[in-house]
Amino acid sequence: MSKKGTFGGFHGAPTPATNSSVSTMRLSLLSLVLSLNLVNLPATATELEIIVNALASNRGDVHVAIYNTPELFPDSDGMTTKLEVPIEGNAARALFTGLMPGFYAIAVYHDENMNDEFDQGFLGIPLEDFAFSNSAKAFLGPPSFADAAVNVPLEGRRIEIPMND
């Protein structure tokens, strides 16, 4: 039962709630609204399947890295995520799940000696096979993010990347 008092110039109106009870009510209402909205939200995660084919051998494994930030492509510190996948029949399959829909650039290399490094020789010349999404070509450096970017919609996407020699 609420107390009666003077409120807004009217006698006999309920006494306003205290700050702590208003905060508690707001928090309870916010929690209820958020929980109802979370139940009705559509799934926003998607997946990207990448098939790397035309590998020179079945030795080693394939490193697949995806990027969603143009300025960080293809720096190893700028990866969104990466996978190391086995080779079978001169091809490798990587499945990335839980991605947000959007544009991604992919860089892959064949780590034949399984040292977990992209081996390079004199002046940074690659000693291992590598490739990028969209068959984007490297010329005196990696391709641009725009050249390698693929759109990954909510329903997901499957792409093939042929390995360069």
Question: What per-residue confidence (pLDDT) applies to 2?
Answer: 45
Give mean pLDDT, residues 71-92: 96
More confident residue, 19 or 53: 53
* 3-state helix/strand/coil string of the chain: CCCEEEECCEEEEECCCCHHHHHHHHHHHHHHHHHHHHHHCCCCCEEEEEEEECCCCCCCEEEEEEECCHHHCCCHHHCCEEEEEEEECCEEEEEEEEECCEEEEEEEEEECCCCCCCCECHHHCECCCEEEHHHCCCCCCCCCHHHHEEEECCCCEEEEEECCC
Q: What are the extents of the domains in the chain?
A: 4-40, 46-162
Question: What per-residue confidence (pLDDT) applies to 124?
Answer: 85
The CATH label, of 2.40.30, 1.10.10, 2.60.40, 1.10.287, for the domain at 46-162 is 2.60.40
More confident residue, 27 or 139: 139
